[in-house]
């Protein structure tokens, strides 16, 4: 379904077509009674929560009165209502303290996006043909209910499945309850670039299955192994705030920041020292530092406790990891190893961070454990000690992700015997796009085509939504009640909640309320006890202890936008009693032979689009990527010397080929990347994702090999080798900057 058709389809329900039918409102100006009365010309401030990443930053919404075109009983006119105008950080919020990142600033365009689905749609053409027709909510919900009802009667509860993005709101809890009471397996969470490896590692080392919270502001040394702490990873805003204070917040004291990575990220650009190590050897380097520190005698192996015990040879001081050995393995000069070790041990509190590519290797788990051990060795772990874990509010803990992965689901569908009824009769898709986000090797698209009936709650027609049979568009976050339990970014347990900031623009419904309605019509044996999603959130929040001056946590949360645990933070849970299995270093395995495929392929999460879910926002498309200054395009980053050797100049169209796929993108000369590495940002290459992203650039995921992290089985997305060749054609690279260097000298 191309854009034009889409607009047509959605228009019938939405205002525009009816407007066309009745002429434009200027001609026959009808003003309906205001939906919402606001002081004219003055701004009202309301609360919300940024939904774009798991950090869960508090948002202050600037709402002002405005006119919108509406159709009431077939009559076109305008009505006054409150409209969100600008998003700011919520000043008091523990996570983002009044700040908001570039993506959060752009989040407002999600609500006003011209290609938003304006009402329920039903597939008319072939699946995937993209042909839909509008239906009423009653029909739509009736259709879904009847199908589920049929499943329930035929005892095929197992035929209902759900895919969702990781949810840290009570929607996750609702989904779990819904599926459980229906009798279906738990939802599959899809988040290909997630941090499961690190969570598992943290559980192993410290007994907390959670991402850490860093006290960067008061640290004196920050050593990051490939973690994009200032860009996109974990809780970027709170980390940026801390970083600023670490630099200039303490008179006379300026912390040092070292970044270890083969391709200079936005984060790496800020480092005092940038250390390129061979991909996948970060853990080895970390242990090299640990060995040097222990050898210096300032720290004893025992100091690392359980985290150290998980590393083979730790208790004997890691003799294997001499600086020379580290140099041969990682390519980092032994001098540098010793220098880093000395500085790391001397400048306490010192923090070591690992995330991103280092964990996306076959030995990712080991790398994570090694860095955990390094932190533990210098005593940086624990509340108020650099690396901590934000306590989770009891009774409100987000649902842990299900055991099954999207790949297992896909296999189950694909392996079902031909002729037999498809194992998945009804599939619910909530705010996730596996068709775009999963490597082709996982064959997610094929699998979905074998599903009986697909229902999407998405607000936009993306690659996955395009395969849906029924689309029940959700509200945007500004239009609905939002709640969130941050995983990290604060010292105390907290939970955010906010009522809607504005009325829905289109004929959409809250996914949670839709589920509740469907549940009602299905009369479960033990029905869901909540009328609306608000009931659910309120009852859940009211289990929390109300803060000073409030008689309910729910009221407090709505009043301030968040609730923070006033009681002294609970001690860290003890590490699991399970017996300790020490891990030995194993060299990272790569898909593709080094002589056939010369280059390591490093896809990275884009500053603008994250994993691609934000590629539809024009502000972010036109945002010059800060390192490459590229806009509206995707690109392949090549070391200048490599490019010269290949006869490639900036903007040339090149072909990136792995054993599993091939993509084309313009080359971008990038001084900050190792000669044997090619990097490419995620996010572009959407086949079908609104007028702004469709058919733009290439998707690096398409060349990824289905390599596994050996212990967790997570996708090792940095373990693919590729080759590159210059080919004919327009590169289509669009950059803002005219020169690479400030002392750029022109040809003489």
Partner 1 sequence: MAKWGMAVDLDRCTGCEACVTACHAENNIPTVGPEEADKGRTMHWLRIERYWEGDFPDVQLKFRPVLCQHCDNAPCEPVCPTYASYHTDEGLNAQVYNRCIGTRYCANACSYNVRVFNFFNPEWEKPLDLQLNPDVSVREVGVMEKCTFCVQRINDAKIDAKANNEDGLIVDGALQSACAQSCTAKALVFGDLEDPDSEVSRLSGSARGSKLLGELGTGPAVTYLQKESWYESGDR
Partner 2 sequence: MNLATDSRITADLLRPLLGTSGKYYVTVGLLGAVTLMGLVAWGYQMYYGIGLTGLNSPVFWGFYLINFVFWIGISHAGTLISAILRLIDAPWRRPVTRCAEAITAFALVIGGTLPLIHLGRPWLFFYLIPFPDGRGLWPNFRSPLMWDFFAINTYLLASTLFLFLPMIPDFALIRDRATGIRRTIYGALSVGWRGTPKQWHRLESAMQIMAIAIIPVAVSVHTIVSFDFAMAVVPMWHSTVFGPYFVAGAIFSGIAGLIIAMAILRRVLRLEQYLTALHFQKLGQLLLLMSLLWGYFVFSERLTIWYGNDNHEMPVFWATFTGEYAPFFWVMVACNFVLPLILLSNQKLRTISGCVVASCGVVLGMWLERFLIVVPSLSYRQLPYTWGSYMPGWPEIAVMVSTFAAMALLYTLFVKFIPIISIWEFKDGTHPGPEPRPIAEPRTLPARGAEAAGEAL
Nearest to 260 by CA among 365, 352, 323: 352
Q: Give the Cβ contact number of residue 94 at 10 Å.
A: 18
738 binds partner 2 (CB under 8 A): yes
- Show contacts with partner 1 in window 251-270 (CB under 8 A): 252-254, 256, 264, 266-270
What is the footprint of partner 1 within residues 534-573 (CB under 8 A)?
A: none
Binding segment (CB under 8 A) for partner 2, from list 521-529, 644-652, 684-692, 731-739:
731-739
As given in the structure block, the two tokens for residue 198 are: 């690190």
**Residue 671 touches partner 1, criterion: CB under 8 A:** yes
CA separation for the pair 6, 3 (Å, rounded): 5
Instruction: Give strand pairing partners of 247.
Output: none
DSSP state letters, 649-699: -TT-EEEEEETTEEEEEEEEE-TTB-TTEEEEESS--BSSSHHHHTTBS--
For the window 689-728, what string marks contact with partner 2 as x by the rule CB under 8 A?
----------------------------------------
Question: Closest approach of Cβ 628 to partner 2, in Å?
Answer: 13
Within residues 593-632, the interface with partner 2 by CB under 8 A covers 629
* Residues forming a β-bridge with 263: 673
496 touches 58 (CB < 8 A)? yes
Q: Which of residues 150 and 740 has its CB atom nearest to partner 2 in the complex? A: 740
Taking CA atoms, 501 is separated from 62, 307, 586, 650, in Å, by: 9, 45, 52, 45
For 313, half-sphere exposure in the C-beta direction (CA atoms, 13 angstrom radius) is 13
Q: Of the ranges 166-174, 264-272, 395-403, 740-748, which one interacts with partner 2 (CB under 8 A)?
A: 740-748
In whole angstroms, the minimum distance from the beta carbon of 506 to partner 1 comes to 9
Q: Which residue has the tokens 């190590």?
A: 277
Select from partner 2, partner 1, none the partner in contact with residue 746, using the beta carbon and a kind-dependent cut-off of 5 to 8 Å. partner 2
**Which residue, among 88, 83, 78, 86, has the nearest Cα to 65 in the 3D structure?**
83
- Rounded Cα–Cα distance for residues 208 and 574 (Å): 8
- When asked if residue 594 is in the footprint of partner 1 (CB under 8 A), the reply is no
CB 228 within 8 A of CB 604: yes
Going residue by residue from 102 to 131, which x/- string records binding to partner 1, judged by CB under 8 A? x-xxx-xx--xxx-----------------
Q: How far is the CB of 748 from partner 2 (least distance, A)?
A: 6
Query: Binders of partner 1 among 470-529, rule CB under 8 A?
Result: 505
Q: Which is nearer to partner 1, 95 or 438 (CB)?
A: 95
For partner 1, the binding residues in 82-101 under the rule CB under 8 A are 83-89, 96, 98-101
Minimum separation from the CB atom of position 608 to partner 1 (A) = 8
Q: 269 contacts which partner out of partner 2, partner 1, none, CB within 5 to 8 A by kind?
A: partner 1
Fill in the DSSP letter of residue 381. Answer: B
Min dist CB 203 to partner 1, Å, is: 30
- Nearer to partner 1 by Cβ, of 202 and 267: the residue is 267
Q: In this complex, which beta carbon is closest to partner 1, that of residue 454 or of residue 623?
A: 623
* Shortest spacing between CB 531 and partner 2, in angstroms: 55
Near partner 1 by CB under 8 A: residue from 400, 641, 649, 713:
641
Site string (491-510) toward partner 2, x via CB under 8 A: --------------------
Judged by beta carbon, residue 62 or residue 127, the one nearer partner 1 is 62
Kindly give, in sequence order, each residue whose CB lies less than 8 Å from that of residue 163, ignoring residues fewer than 6 positions away. Answer: 187, 188, 189, 190, 406, 409, 427, 428, 429, 430, 432, 434
Residue 739 contacts partner 2 per CB under 8 A:
yes
Residues 15-44 that bind partner 1 (CB under 8 A): 16, 41
Cβ count within 10 A of residue 728: 6
Residue 217 near partner 1 by CB under 8 A: no
Q: Which does 281 bind (CB under 5 to 8 A by kind): partner 1, partner 2, none?
A: none
Name which of residues 627 to 686 contact partner 2 (CB under 8 A): 629
Distance CA 47, CA 556 (A): 13
Please identify which residue in 244, 305, 422, 491 interacts with partner 1, judged by CB under 8 A: 244
Which C-beta is closer to partner 1: that of 350 or that of 495?
Answer: 350
Options 5-13, 244-252, 698-706, 736-744: segment touching partner 2 (CB under 8 A): 736-744
Contact 678, 602 (CB under 8 A): yes
Q: What does the alpha-carbon distance between residue 392 and residue 493 come to, in Å, rounded to a whole number?
A: 5
**Is the CB of 4 or the CB of 741 nearer to partner 2?**
741
Which range binds partner 1 by CB under 8 A, 391-399, 488-496, 551-559, 731-739? 731-739
Q: Does 346 bind partner 1 (CB under 8 A)?
A: yes
Interacting partner of 747 out of partner 1, partner 2, none (Cβ under 5 to 8 A depending on kind)? partner 2
From 415, 526, 574, 744, residue interacting with partner 2 (rule: CB under 8 A): 744
**The token pair that represents 434 in the structure block:** 């596996």
Residue 62 near residue 88, CB atoms below 8 Å: yes
To partner 2, the closest distance from the beta carbon of 626 in angstroms equals: 12
Q: What is the 3-state secondary structure (H, E, C) of 63-131?
A: EEEEEEEEEECCEEEEEEEEEEEEEEECCCCCCCCCCCCHHHHHCHHHHHCCCCCCCCEEECCCCCCCC
CB of 213 to partner 2, least distance (A): 36
Regarding 742 and contact with partner 2 (CB under 8 A), the answer is: yes
Q: In angstroms, what is the minimal distance from the CB of 397 to partner 1?
A: 28
Here the tokens at position 431 are 């705010």
- Give the Cα-Cα-Cα angle 293, 260, 620 (nearest 5 degrees): 145
Total site size for partner 2, rule CB under 8 A: 13
Residues ≥6 apart with Cβ < 8 Å to 474: 430, 431, 457, 458, 459, 480, 508, 509, 510, 511
DSSP labels for 32-73?
Answer: EPPSS---TT--EEEEEE--SSTT--EEEEEEEEEEEEEEET
Using H for helix, E for strand and C for coil, what is the string for 413-460? HHHCCCCCCCCCCEEEEECCCHHHHCCHHHCHHHHHHCCCEEEECCCC
If contact means CB under 5 to 8 A according to the sort of partner, which of partner 1, partner 2, none does residue 748 touch? partner 2
Is residue 402 within 8 A of residue 188, CB to CB? The reply is yes
The only residue of 415, 418, 419, 741 in contact with partner 2, by rule CB under 8 A: 741
User: Pick from 639, 699, 710, 720: which binds partner 1 (CB under 8 A)?
Assistant: 639
Q: Which residue has the tokens 């050593």?
A: 223
Alpha carbon separation from 514 to 187, 191, 504 (Å, rounded): 17, 24, 15
Task: Show contacts with partner 1 in window 59-78 (CB under 8 A).
Answer: 64, 66, 68-69
| Encoded tokens for 158 | 């197992």
Give the x-and-dash track for 273-312 against partner 1 (CB under 8 A).
xx-x------------------------------------
Size of site (CB under 8 A) for partner 1: 87
Which residues of the shown chain bind partner 2 in the complex (CB under 8 A)? 629, 736-739, 741-748
């Amino acid at each position: 379904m191309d854009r034009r058709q889409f607009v047509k389809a959605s228009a019938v329900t939405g205002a525009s077509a009816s407007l066309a039918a009745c002429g434009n409102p200027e001609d026959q100006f009808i003003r309906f009674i205001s939906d919402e009365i606001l002081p004219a010309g003055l701004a009202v401030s309301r609360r919300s929560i940024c939904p774009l990443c798991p950090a869960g930053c508090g948002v202050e919404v600037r709402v002002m009165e405005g006119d919108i075109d509406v159709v009431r009983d077939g009559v076109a006119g305008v009505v006054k209502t409150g409209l969100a105008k600008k998003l700011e950080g919520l000043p008091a919020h523990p996570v983002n303290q009044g700040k908001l990142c570039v993506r959060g600033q752009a989040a407002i365009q999600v609500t006003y996006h011209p290609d938003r689905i304006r009402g329920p749609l039903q597939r008319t053409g072939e699946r995937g043909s993209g042909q839909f027709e509008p239906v009423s909510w009653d029909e739509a919900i009736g259709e879904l209910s009847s199908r589920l009802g049929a499943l329930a009667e035929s005892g095929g509860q197992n035929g209902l499945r759900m895919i969702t993005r990781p949810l840290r709101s009570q929607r996750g809890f609702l989904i779990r309850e819904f599926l459980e009471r229906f009798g279906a397996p738990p939802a599959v969470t899809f988040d290909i670039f997630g941090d499961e490896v690190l969570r598992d590692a943290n559980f192993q080392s410290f007994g907390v299955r959670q991402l850490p919270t860093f006290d960067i502001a008061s640290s004196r040394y920050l050593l990051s192994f490939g973690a994009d702490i200032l860009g996109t990873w974990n809780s970027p805003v709170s980390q940026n705030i801390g970083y600023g204070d670490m630099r200039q917040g303490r008179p006379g004291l300026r912390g040092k920041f070292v970044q270890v990575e083969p391709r200079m990220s936005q984060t790496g650009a800020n480092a005092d020292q940038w250390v390129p190590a061979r991909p996948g050897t970060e853990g080895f380097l970390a242990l090299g530092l640990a060995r040097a520190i222990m050898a210096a005698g300032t720290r004893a192996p025992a100091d690392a406790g359980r985290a150290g015990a998980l590393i083979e040879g730790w208790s004997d001081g890691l003799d294997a990891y001499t600086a020379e050995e580290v140099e041969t393995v990682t390519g980092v000069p032994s001098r540098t190893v010793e220098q880093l070790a000395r500085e790391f041990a001397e400048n306490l509190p010192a923090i070591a961070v690992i995330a991103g590519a280092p964990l996306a290797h076959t030995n990712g788990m080991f790398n994570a454990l090694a860095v955990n051990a390094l932190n533990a060795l210098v005593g940086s772990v624990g509340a108020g000690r650099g690396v901590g874990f934000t306590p989770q509010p009891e009774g409100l803990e987000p649902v842990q992700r299900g055991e099954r992965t999207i790949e297992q689901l896909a296999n189950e569908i694909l392996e079902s015997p031909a002729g037999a009824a498809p194992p998945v009769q009804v599939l619910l898709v909530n705010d996730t796009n596996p068709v775009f986000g999963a490597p082709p090797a996982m064959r997610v698209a094929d699998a979905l085509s074998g599903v009986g009936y697909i229902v999407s709650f998405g607000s936009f027609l993306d690659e996955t939504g395009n395969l849906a049979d029924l689309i029940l568009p959700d509200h945007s976050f500004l239009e609905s009640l939002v709640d969130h339990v941050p995983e990290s970014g604060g010292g105390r347990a907290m939970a955010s909640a906010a009522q809607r900031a504005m009325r829905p623009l289109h004929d959409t419904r809250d996914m949670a309320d839709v589920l509740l309605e469907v549940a009602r019509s299905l009369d479960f044996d033990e029905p869901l006890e909540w009328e609306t999603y608000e009931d659910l959130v309120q009852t859940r929040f009211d289990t929390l202890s109300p803060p000073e001056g409030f008689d309910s946590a729910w009221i407090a949360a709505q009043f301030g936008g968040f609730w923070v645990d006033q009681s002294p933070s609970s001690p860290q849970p003890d590490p699991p009693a399970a017996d300790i299995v020490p891990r030995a270093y194993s060299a990272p395995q790569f898909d593709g032979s080094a002589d056939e495929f010369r280059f390591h392929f490093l896809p990275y999460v884009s500053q603008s689009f994250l994993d691609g879910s934000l590629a539809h926002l024009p502000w972010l498309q036109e945002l010059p990527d800060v390192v490459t200054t590229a806009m509206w395009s995707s690109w392949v980053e090549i070391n200048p010397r490599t490019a010269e050797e290949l006869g490639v100049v900036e903007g040339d169209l090149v072909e990136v080929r792995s054993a599993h796929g091939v993509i084309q993108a313009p080359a971008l000369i990038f001084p900050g990347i190792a000669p044997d590495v090619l990097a490419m940002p995620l996010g572009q290459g959407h086949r079908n994702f609104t007028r702004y992203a469709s058919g733009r650039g290439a998707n690096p995921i398409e060349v990824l090999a289905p390599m596994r992290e050996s212990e967790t089985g997570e996708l090792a997305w940095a373990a693919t080798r590729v080759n590159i060749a210059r080919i004919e054609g327009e590169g289509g690279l669009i950059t803002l900057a005219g020169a690479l260097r400030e002392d750029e000298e022109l040809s003489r």
